[in-house]
Structure 1
Amino acid sequence: MRKTRLPGLPSDCPKELANEFASVPVYDSSCSDTARVYYLDTDGGFFLKRSPKNTLREEAEMTRIFGNAGLGPEVVAYLSADSDWLLTRRVPGEDGTHMTDHPELLCDILASAFRELHDKGLSRVGDVPLPDRTAETLAGAERGLASGVFHSYLRPERYQIHTPDDARAVLAAQVEAFRPSCLIHGDACLPNVLIRDGRFSGFIDCGAAGFGNRHSDLFWTVWSLAFNLKTDAYGDRFLDAYGRDAVDRDQFRTAAAAESVTADE
């Protein structure tokens, strides 16, 4: 975890938080230009995320759902003033990027965590409303195709998708079968999976979670493994460990096609 010691919390921090953590060591652990993240080093640790007003509401709700199900951090507070502030308790462990020296074990841990999430997540969170992330992804793909978006950094050519027209053809052929069926994380990558003593300990950054198609998480995890390990050698290891019985080649390719052309709103 990246940490830079700060003299204290920012001056515009809500008073109730500033008072509660007035004498606590504060560190900047931000890794994004769009949000600031402060680590509060007390009582096992807390993370305080600051973002523009009304941008953390959904993340707070989805993180609360994951936390209540034992899948992610506990949400301590969500406050919306001039900015949004989300306070969560630290999940013990280090993120998956700290295990790249043990790629086989890393693949096995990721596979077990995501299979458990996809197979049992809905029953664990109970009867709560969830956003339809598959509908959002497909809508984003439509916008991207209309504006010529093509994310070559995702290396869609690995799935015989070389152009936006290739992605359009895949989506046209498979979109009816690409349906949501499980709880997904929505931002599946090594930094968002925490591991402690060689075992999964929780998901973080759950703002994109919801009701979705498991192949979206699988696509992003395979991509993240290749990105962080600097090789494509472990994608199949991950999918084998996840269980090929639950992996549909056409739906995986559909996920790749959709993500390769998706545009934000």
Structure 2
Amino acid sequence: MDGEREHPCPPPPLPSSIAADVAGYAWARDTVGESGGTVYRLHGKAGAPDLFLKHGQGTVADDVTDELVRLGWLAAHSQVPAVRTFLRTPDEAWLLMTAIPGRTAYQMLVAQPDNGPAIVEALAVYLRQLHAIPTAACPFNADHTFRLSQAKARIAASLVDTDDFDDAQTGWTADRVWNAMQALLPLAPDPVVTHGDVSLDNILIENGAVVGCIDVGRAGIADRYQDLAILWNCLGEFGPALQDRLFTSYGISAPDKRKLDFHLLLDELF
């Protein structure tokens, strides 16, 4: 990952069973999409693959556990990190995984801006394949009704980071986001198997194609706009032409603005 999205750090305090697995690695802390937990990239050990370690406490430990379970299921449908070690205590969780080859879609767009349309096409192909997985095969519910119940609990517990809102919601309170979402309901359901957090940092590309995904703790059955909205929003950094291309490459000629707005607001609360 590029230097702006991670920084070198010393190893954190670790359980002895994990410390033995990661001896000899250099450490870097990921500064993107941590959702309250900590994510480290372990690299530079001769003859050994790069690894990632996630650590969470309290409710974030539950999120790390959710990711472990979803990794096991998704492995049959998409390339995902292989679990090396998982350790859970009543209040903490550690998840050690192998790294997927390739570079993130964000890195690719920064390094090859002229290749943006082809990169977006690869992302759209990946989403179409993911969304084509039969919903009957997926045991995880992530629809907006379920996510709204989680969001309401996060608001009540003062867990929403309003300083991290998108520019369009700068200065908003979490309650204002909640009320804006309610005004967009109801939504016509269009359930598919979703990744749940398809940011450009969570998709890996190699040789022009998506080779896998990471950060799958929110995967489950939801409206396809759960994925499309987040990816569309991330592409805004690289211009509206690529945002438009996402929908045309995916096969949607007229995006549903109501669903787009709703899912972008919902994401602010997580």
- TM-score w.r.t. the length of structure 2 is 0.76
Residue equivalent to 1:170: 184
Pick closer, same or farther for the CA change 1:168–1:70 going to 2, 3 Å: closer
Residue equivalent to 2:53: 48
Corresponding residue to 1:222 among 213, 228, 232: 232
Deviation at 1:97? 1.0
Deviations 1:146-189 (A, max 9, x none): 99x9x972649xxxxxx867654431xx42x135x211011111
Query: 1-side partners of 2:262 and 2:201: how far apart?
Result: 23
Residue equivalent to 2:37: 34
Query: 1-side partners of 2:56 and 2:107: how far apart?
Result: 26
Pick closer, same or farther for the CA change 1:13–1:243 going to 2, 3 Å: same
> Is the contact made by 1:170 and 1:257 (CA closer than 8 Å) also made in structure 2?
yes
Pick closer, same or farther for the CA change 1:62–1:232 going to 2, 3 Å: same
Deviation at 1:255? 4.0
Pick closer, same or farther for the CA change 1:78–1:108 going to 2, 3 Å: same
Deviation at 1:201? 0.7
- Within-5 A mapping of 1:1-265: 1=1, 2=3, 4-5=7-8, 9-10=11-12, 12-22=13-23, 24-31=24-31, 32=34, 34-42=37-45, 43-53=48-58, 54-55=61-62, 56-81=64-89, 83-100=92-109, 101=113, 102-120=115-133, 122=135, 126=137, 129-139=139-149, 153=166, 155=168, 167-171=181-185, 174-175=186-187, 177-179=188-190, 181-227=191-237, 229=238, 231-244=239-252, 249-250=255-256, 252-260=257-265, 264=269
Report the 3-state secondary structure (helix = DSSP H, G, I; strand = E; otherwise coil) of the residue aligned with 1:120.
coil
Query: 1-side partners of 2:266 and 2:196: how far apart?
Result: 16
**Runs of 5+ in structure 1 lacking a partner?**
157-162
- Following TM superposition, the consecutive aligned residue runs of length 4 or more in structure 1 with deviations greater than 6 angstroms are 141-147, 163-166
Query: 2-side partners of 1:145 and 1:38: how far apart?
Result: 31
Report the 3-state secondary structure (helix = DSSP H, G, I; strand = E; otherwise coil) of the residue aligned with 1:234.
helix
Could you tell which deviates more after superposition, 206-215 or 45-54? Answer: 45-54
Report the 3-state secondary structure (helix = DSSP H, G, I; strand = E; otherwise coil) of the residue aligned with 1:13.
coil
Deviation at 1:116? 0.5
Report the 3-state secondary structure (helix = DSSP H, G, I; strand = E; otherwise coil) of the residue aligned with 1:206.
coil
Report the 3-state secondary structure (helix = DSSP H, G, I; strand = E; otherwise coil) of the residue aligned with 1:37.
strand
> Is the contact made by 1:142 and 1:262 (CA closer than 8 Å) also made in structure 2?
no
Report the 3-state secondary structure (helix = DSSP H, G, I; strand = E; otherwise coil) of the residue aligned with 2:95.
strand
Instruction: Output the amino acid matched with 2:54.
Output: K
Instruction: Output the amino acid matched with 2:20.
Output: N
Identity %: 24
Instruction: Output the amino acid matched with 1:88.
Output: M
Deviation at 1:248? 6.8
Deviation at 1:122? 4.4
Residue equivalent to 1:159: none
> Is the contact made by 1:144 and 1:262 (CA closer than 8 Å) also made in structure 2?
no
Query: 1-side partners of 2:265 and 2:21: how far apart?
Result: 44
Pick closer, same or farther for the CA change 1:40–1:203 going to 2, 3 Å: same
Query: 1-side partners of 2:145 and 2:254: how far apart?
Result: 19
The CA RMSD measured in Å over matched residues stands at: 3.3
Pick closer, same or farther for the CA change 1:141–1:78 going to 2, 3 Å: closer
